[in-house]
Amino acid sequence: MMRTHYCGDLNKTHIGETVTVCGWAHRRRDHGGVIFIDLRDREGIAQIVIDPDTKETFATAESIRNEFVLKVICKVRSRPEGTVNLNIPTGEVELLASAIEILNPSLTPPFMLDDDSISEMIRLEYRFMDLRRPMMQNNLRLRYRVAKVLRDFLDENGFMEIETPMLTRSTPEGARDYLVPSRIHAGEFFALPQSPQLFKQLLMVSGFDRYFQITKCFRDEDLRADRQPEFTQVDIETSFMNEEDIMAMVEKMIREMYKKVASIDLPTRFQRMTYLEAMYKYGSDKPDMRVTLEITELTDVMKDVDFKVFSSAATMKGGRVVALRVPNGSAITRSEIDAYTEFVKIYGAKGLAYIKINDVNELNETGLQSPIVKNIHVNALKAIIEKTGAANGDIIFFGADKEKVVNEALGALRLKVGHEKNHVDGRLWAPLWVVDFPMFEHDEETDRWVAIHHPFTAPKEGHEDLLVTDPGKCLSKAYDMVINGWEVGGGSIRIHEEKVQSKVFDALKISKEEAKEKFGFLLDALQYGAPPHGGLAFGLDRLVTLLAGAESIRDVIAFPKTQRAQCLLTKAPNAVDEKQLRELHIRLRTPQPTT
């Protein structure tokens, strides 16, 4: 071993020892004829002192620049009085060099490691430098600890990690597949898995009883801030457990993980909420429960008011009118309201009506300061005040549109105003289970029911007949874990009976032939002794981003893609040789000049 110690591990207990350390010259200072080098390795920084008496060593030290790779033999000693630095673990000692070897020099780095203003483009292009920064070192170490602690928990609970294929079958629904042309089978393609869903269900049919896998999944979607073409899932499936058993077990897993990697105590029982309540009160199926603001339903109240924006939303099919009361919000300025109005437009809202409450007892334009008050009759005004519980000094914002627009716009506004105006309950961590999801949502465009989770989700006890009679009312045995407004995990009890699976395909208007073509092996498997089973999957990238307090999931991934799905470091994707395409039996639609 070239080194005897990591730099960051040295402290008073090593005083007097001769040690060998290896690392990067983080900074060099010349001070009073002496050279100081902060030597950095993954465990921290130690101060090397090079005395001018050691001529050769000193000459070497003089040639050292930032990021040179060094091996230093040195003696650990106390720092002189007045130079002790208690901010770093090694701050009580310094290392007097007796020999320095430059293992590799470095060009001048493209940026300073402690410069936080570097654009993400540059950081991704020089990722091998960016990853030297303490933030990235800490994030990836945290990511590893999270995965390790989850693996250990699952191992202790009898789960086995089993690898499922990366080259699998394309089943075009849900997100777009990444395809891989087959060389041996002309005209055919593999798909990269969107999740191991079908394989993990087959493993249950095979009797493995408790499966997990930490694995890559792929979705060729238009990328949003927190999406990557490839992402990592902590995938879990068990047999002979119901939803309560599963939720209790993974809740314990997440609690232990938070405790072990970050010394955070999550509540001993996570809050539960139905999907319906979440949508009604928070406009979202993943509400951030730290925010204390709530949405109030006003659809019935607004059916007959003169203000057409409200009354037409309240009376149209699938319309909704709601209020968001912000206590003490009447201090919110005109320009802030304008900014909030622009903000809700992102979600499709056409505007943002509001009322500032001057006096709850004066139901007119004096007591209720707003352009819309004159067009709302007094009974409706009374109902607004009563239902929202508004008090003098509050502001009430309104949403009125199709349900989806209202929920997204007011749900987002709730978070924005809540965090900006400090309507939060002070908790750092607010975990939550959302349950009782509908099985299906109606797709207007195709006039079809589509699965909210996936078509293998089991209906809630007693809801099986609704699959046929009223699919929209049918609830599922699905559950999502939400932390601070992020959906970190989700799953369900799966259908284990072929006859129920067929009913779901019927409700989704998937024909017998289509089902057989796409999922024939699963339908087969359900007929050969499939046990009751269920599970869930956590998004590892999100779990770690949340724990790290990172701004983007790209900051917890070693080599991420940009939002344009490119790797700036390796310049992937790239053009390939014509010969490769020929072997794969494909050609480009618009041939490019060959490289």
User: What tokens does 571 get?
Assistant: 């310049």
Which helix or strand (DSSP H or E) is residue 440 part of? strand 440-443
Q: Which is nearer to its own copies, 120 or 277 (CB)?
A: 120
Q: Does residue 129 touch its own copies according to CB under 8 A?
A: yes
Minimum CB–partner distance for residue 458 and its own copies (Å): 13
**Residue from the set 56, 426, 446, 528 that interacts with its own copies by CB under 8 A:** 528
Q: Which of residues 69-88 bind its own copies (CB under 8 A)?
A: 69, 71
Is 542 assigned to a binding site? yes
Minimum CB–partner distance for residue 135 and its own copies (Å): 13
CA distances from 262 to 127, 142, 266, 447 (A): 26, 9, 11, 48
Rounded-to-integer distance, Cα 340 and Cα 342, Å = 5
Is 423 assigned to a binding site? no
Residues in the chain: 595
CA dihedral in degrees (201, 202, 205, 211; nearest 10)? -60
Q: How many residues bind its own copies (CB under 8 A)?
A: 129
Q: Which is nearer to its own copies, 348 or 531 (CB)?
A: 531
Q: Does residue 138 touch its own copies according to CB under 8 A?
A: no
Minimum CB–partner distance for residue 441 and its own copies (Å): 23
Q: Does residue 67 touch its own copies according to CB under 8 A?
A: yes
The string of DSSP letters for 21-59 reads EEEEEEEEEEETTEEEEEEEETTEEEEEEE-TTSHHHHH
Is 219 assigned to a binding site? yes
Nearest of 69, 76, 68 to residue 46 by alpha carbon: 76
Q: Which is nearer to its own copies, 108 or 361 (CB)?
A: 108
Task: Choose one: 77-85, 198-206, 391-399, 424-432; the region binding its own copies (CB under 8 A).
Answer: 198-206
Q: Which of residues 343-372 bind its own copies (CB under 8 A)?
A: none
Minimum CB–partner distance for residue 509 and its own copies (Å): 18
Q: Does residue 144 touch its own copies according to CB under 8 A?
A: yes
Q: Which is nearer to its own copies, 102 or 337 (CB)?
A: 102
Minimum CB–partner distance for residue 202 and its own copies (Å): 5
Rounded-to-integer distance, Cα 491 and Cα 453, Å = 8
**Residue from the set 205, 474, 543, 548 that interacts with its own copies by CB under 8 A:** 205
Is 220 assigned to a binding site? yes
Minimum CB–partner distance for residue 372 and its own copies (Å): 44
Rounded-to-integer distance, Cα 552 and Cα 231, Å = 13
Per-residue binding letters, 214-253, with its own copies (x by CB under 8 A): --x-x-x--------xx-x------xxxx--x--------
| Sign of the torsion angle spanned by Cα atoms 125, 128, 132, 134 | positive
Q: Which of residues 489-508 bind its own copies (CB under 8 A)?
A: 496-497
Minimum CB–partner distance for residue 521 and its own copies (Å): 5
Q: Does residue 172 touch its own copies according to CB under 8 A?
A: yes
**Residue from the set 199, 347, 479, 538 that interacts with its own copies by CB under 8 A:** 199
**Residue from the set 59, 88, 160, 391 that interacts with its own copies by CB under 8 A:** 160
Q: Are 289 and 430 in contact (CB under 8 A)?
A: yes
Q: Does residue 512 touch its own copies according to CB under 8 A?
A: no
Calculate ∠ Cα 267-273-278, nearest 5°.
125
CB atoms within 10 A of CB 316: 12
CB atoms within 10 A of CB 319: 20
Q: In 3-state terms, what secondary structure has residue 258?
A: helix
Per-residue binding letters, 439-458, with its own copies (x by CB under 8 A): --------------------
Minimum CB–partner distance for residue 239 and its own copies (Å): 8
Bridge partners (DSSP) listed for residue 101: 71
Q: Does residue 101 touch its own copies according to CB under 8 A?
A: no
CA distances from 119 to 115, 123, 138 (A): 10, 6, 20
Q: Does residue 170 touch its own copies according to CB under 8 A?
A: yes
Q: Does residue 111 touch its own copies according to CB under 8 A?
A: no
Which helix or strand (DSSP H or E) is residue 435 part of? strand 431-435
Is 386 assigned to a binding site? no
Minimum CB–partner distance for residue 186 and its own copies (Å): 6
Task: Choose one: 75-83, 115-123, 256-264, 582-590; the region binding its own copies (CB under 8 A).
Answer: 582-590
1 Cβ contact list (under 8 Å, min separation 6): none
Q: Are 414 and 295 in contact (CB under 8 A)?
A: yes
Q: Does residue 166 touch its own copies according to CB under 8 A?
A: yes
Q: Does residue 68 touch its own copies according to CB under 8 A?
A: yes
Q: Does residue 121 touch its own copies according to CB under 8 A?
A: no
Is 334 assigned to a binding site? no
Q: Which of residues 537-566 bind its own copies (CB under 8 A)?
A: 557-559, 561, 564-566
**Residue from the set 34, 131, 135, 337 that interacts with its own copies by CB under 8 A:** 131
Bridge partners (DSSP) listed for residue 482: 432, 487
Q: Are 171 and 191 in contact (CB under 8 A)?
A: yes
Is 43 assigned to a binding site? no
**Residue from the set 359, 425, 521, 551 that interacts with its own copies by CB under 8 A:** 521
Q: Which is nearer to its own copies, 139 or 407 (CB)?
A: 139
Is 472 assigned to a binding site? no
Minimum CB–partner distance for residue 159 and its own copies (Å): 9
Q: Does residue 39 touch its own copies according to CB under 8 A?
A: no
Q: In 3-state terms, what secondary structure has residue 485?
A: coil
Q: Are 81 and 43 in contact (CB under 8 A)?
A: no
CA distances from 404 to 140, 291, 304, 342, 387 (A): 37, 21, 22, 18, 22
Is 444 assigned to a binding site? no
357 Cβ contact list (under 8 Å, min separation 6): 330, 367, 368, 369, 385, 390, 391, 392, 393, 394, 395, 396
Is 14 assigned to a binding site? no
Q: Does residue 104 touch its own copies according to CB under 8 A?
A: yes
The amino acid at 168: T
Rounded-to-integer distance, Cα 95 and Cα 51, Å = 11
Q: Which is nearer to its own copies, 141 or 269 (CB)?
A: 141
Q: Are 70 and 101 in contact (CB under 8 A)?
A: yes
Q: Does residue 527 touch its own copies according to CB under 8 A?
A: yes
Q: Which residues are annotated as a binding site for L-aspartate?
A: 173, 219, 453, 494
Q: Which residues are annotated as a binding site?
A: 173, 219-221, 228, 453, 487, 494, 539-542
Q: Which residues are annotated as a binding site for ATP?
A: 219-221, 228, 487, 539-542
